[in-house]
Chains A and B, each alone.
Chain A
Amino acid sequence: QVQLQESGPGLVRPSETLALTCAVSGYSISRGHYWGWIRQSPGKGLEWIGSIYQSGITYYNPSFKSRVTISVDTSTNQFSLKLSSVTAADTAVYYCTRQSTSPGTYWGQGLLVTVSS
């Protein structure tokens, strides 16, 4: 069974870059599926940030414009999120996910990231 685990700093200063990593176990990223990031904040519910396919092709939510970068490292079976120029509005729980139409999306435990000076 696939398992996902987010890691990274829980506190990021305004205007800096939020950087998170997702370690995947029980399934090789190279086998396929989309690997994505979703966040949850009180004001906006569940919000898709972006995803990457095992080939490296990326898909981003236009709401994040040019602030987001997602990358994959198949040698370590991990993928990463970078979100630049953060503000307090980026405070949220960030989830890494394996997306699939069948059998659906699997989620990591989530990581609370607070943007504050």
Chain B
Amino acid sequence: DIVMTQSPLSLPVTPGEPASISCRSSQSLLHSSGYHYLDWYVQKPGQSPQLLIYLGSDRASGVPDRFSGSGSGTDFTLKISRVEADDVGVYYCMQALQTPRITFGQGTRLEIK
């Protein structure tokens, strides 16, 4: 199994300030297609996880451009350029390289200061 490790696990942020979450995989997520099979999801309080980013850097439909994904190989980052109150939740990275045998990071809890 590919092990996914996120940091930090807790992230207090002042509204309007940027935020960054790191995700590291135990093996490269580069597929022969040239894409990195790494997704980002957010789980807002009381809701199911919802897709933010797929293939490492592609925003899902309806996701604000404040959210961006980057990285390569085994190291990936989710950035929020300006945090808003509605961004509170738990953010997960997920490897899709071994789809359907997916695995998740532990989650990063973003809270507003």
Residues of A within 8 A of B (CB): 34, 36, 38, 45-48, 50-51, 53, 59, 61, 95, 99-110
Q: Are A103 and B58 in contact (CB under 8 A)?
A: yes
A45-B107, A107-B49, A109-B48 known; A102+B55 contact, CB < 8 A: yes
B21-36: which residues lie under 8 A (CB-CB) from chain A? 31, 35
B72-104: which residues lie under 8 A (CB-CB) from chain A? 92, 94, 96, 99-104
Q: Are B54 and A107 in contact (CB under 8 A)?
A: no
Majority SS at the chain A contact face: strand
* Among A48, A51, A95, A100: residue with most chain B CB under 10 A: A48
A103-B54, A103-B58, A103-B60 known; A51+B49 contact, CB < 8 A: no
Task: Name which residue of chain A comes closest to B106, CB basis.
Answer: A45
A108 to B105, CA, bound (A): 20
Enumerate chain B residues within 8 angstroms of A100, measured Cβ to Cβ: 99
A101-B55, A107-B48, A110-B48 known; A46+B101 contact, CB < 8 A: no
The minimal Cβ–Cβ distance linking A110 to chain B, given in whole angstroms, is 5
A45 to B35, CA, bound (A): 27
The minimal Cβ–Cβ distance linking A13 to chain B, given in whole angstroms, is 26
Majority SS at the chain B contact face: loop
Task: Name which residue of chain B comes closest to A109, CB basis.
Answer: B48
A29 to B103, CA, bound (A): 23
The minimal Cβ–Cβ distance linking A109 to chain B, given in whole angstroms, is 6
* Among B54, B92, B94, B102: residue with most chain A CB under 10 A: B102
Enumerate chain A residues within 8 angstroms of B107, measured Cβ to Cβ: 45-46
Enumerate chain A residues within 8 angstroms of B103, measured Cβ to Cβ: 48
B4-61: which residues lie under 8 A (CB-CB) from chain A? 31, 35, 37, 39, 41, 47-51, 53-55, 58, 60-61
A108 to B37, CA, bound (A): 22
A45 to B93, CA, bound (A): 12
